[in-house]
Amino acid sequence: LGIYSARRQYSFADYFLTVLAFIGQAMPTFWFGLMMILLFSIYLKSPSGGPLLPPGGMMDIGSTASFFSWARLKYLIMPAFVLGLHNITSWMRFIRSTMLEVVNQDYIRTARAKGLKERTVIYKHAFRNAMIPMITLLAMTIPNLVGGATLTETVFAWNGIGSMTYNSVMNKDYSVAMASLMFSAIMVVIGNLLADILYAVVDPRVRYD
pTM of the predicted protein model:
0.75
- pLDDT higher than 90, residue 38: yes
* pLDDT score for 3: 84
Residue 40: predicted pLDDT? 92
Distance CA 144, CA 148 (A): 5
CA dihedral sign of residues 154, 67, 59, 45: positive
Q: Are 191 and 148 in contact (CB under 8 A)?
A: no
The domain locations on the chain are: 2-202
Short-list 110, 115, 123, 141, CA closest to 6: 123
Determine the residue type at 209: D
116 or 146, greater pLDDT? 116
Q: What is the mean pLDDT of residues 27-46?
A: 90
Of 20-24, 59-63, 121-125, 172-176, minimum mean pLDDT range: 59-63
Enter the DSSP assignment of 127.
H
How is 136-202 classified by DSSP, letter by letter? HHHHHHHHHHHHS-HHHHHHTT---HHHHHHHHHHTT-HHHHHHHHHHHHHHHHHHHHHHHHHHHHH
Could you confirm whether domain 2-202 is CATH 1.10.3720.10? yes
Mean pLDDT of the chain: 84
The predicted structure's pLDDT at residue 151: 82
CA neighbor of 178 nearest in space, from 165, 195, 187 = 165
Least confident of 12-26, 41-55, 108-122, 148-162: 148-162
Among residues 149, 131, 125, 47, the alpha carbon closest in space to that of 91 is found at 131
pLDDT band of residue 137 (cuts 50, 70, 90) is confident
pLDDT at 128: 82
Task: Please report the pLDDT score of residue 166 as a whole number.
Answer: 83
